[in-house]
Amino acid sequence: MGLIARTIEQHGIATVALSIQRELTEKTRPPRALFVRWPYGHPLGEPFNVAQQRWVLCDALRALEELQTPGTIIDLPYRWRRPGPWTEKRA
């Protein structure tokens, strides 16, 4: 994802990545990224939790405006609330 984001930015389009795997994001170094501790396949949040998804989307849009330092990764404070096998390992 970081490689694609950097290429898009070279053409003048700002990007922000939503990451659920911080180590990989650090290695690929997208121009700006937001990290959430959520299970794979759910970068915007829990299914049907519209408010939570809106918060993440607003944070992403705000990051487009505010983050100026390339390679910045922001850890979002949100936590996954639904029980599952991933909650114990990643929460």
Would the pLDDT of 91 be above 50? no
Closest CA relative to residue 74, chosen from 24, 4, 22: 22
Residue-wise pLDDT for 19-62, tens only, equals: 999 999 999 999 999 999 989 889 999 988 899 999 999 999 99
Mean of pLDDT values over 64-80: 91
The residue segments making up the domain with residue 13 are 2-90
Please tell me the total count of domains within the chain.
Answer: 1
Assessment of whether the complete model's pTM goes beyond 0.85: no
Give residue 89's pLDDT. 47
Closest CA relative to residue 77, chosen from 47, 34, 26, 31: 34
Closest CA relative to residue 70, chosen from 12, 9, 11, 18: 9
The whole-angstrom separation of Cα 35 and Cα 21 is: 7
Mean of pLDDT values over 63-83: 88
